Amino acid sequence: MIAGLRRVRVVIQAFYELARYDVLLAVFRVQNIHRQLAIPYSDVLERDLRREAAIVAIFDLTTSLYWKRVRCLQRSVCLVRLLRKHGVPARLVIGYRPAPLVSHAWTEVHSQVVADSSAYPDRLRILMSV
């Protein structure tokens, strides 16, 4: 679990990640997305599902309070970066369906979809995984 001041720190980090993404996207456009995920993992801790769930819940709250709509790519990039900062080996996955064209980005931890529908990996072809 995450308590007290550490929870506040995660909220601040989540807002920072969302704002950072918006600024980098405005300046560098989409080509910088891959580079954003090149952050080193902090020390990978023993898997703690409660801690992961708490970080995701805090991130969900933060996105609901963010000043603009958070779309799937921004949400996934920022959540991956936030989880990695806390020692969780998260990865960004982008999938698509060619006809009718549908695309979606989601976050996975240990090959399990986090904070999104678990149906995406079965319904969409994987375009990229970072």
Residue 28: give the domain boundaries. Answer: 4-129
**pLDDT tens for each residue of 20-36:** 999 888 887 766 677 77
The amino acid at 29? R
Return the percentage of the chain with pLDDT > 90, whole number: 63
Distance set, CA 98 to CA 23, 64, 92, 102, 110 (Å): 30, 30, 20, 7, 27
Of 45, 107, 32, 47, nearest to 72 (Cα)?
Answer: 107
- Give mean pLDDT, residues 39-59: 80
- Give mean pLDDT, residues 43-59: 84
pTM comes to 0.89
Q: How far is CA 15 from the centre of its chain?
A: 12
61: tokens are 């709250």
- Give mean pLDDT, residues 11-20: 95
What is the rounded CA–CA span in Å between residue 52 and residue 71?
21
**pLDDT tens for each residue of 91-130:** 999 999 998 999 999 999 999 999 899 999 999 999 988 8
Tally of structural domains, the chain: 1
| Cβ atoms of residues 96 and 103 within 8 Å | yes
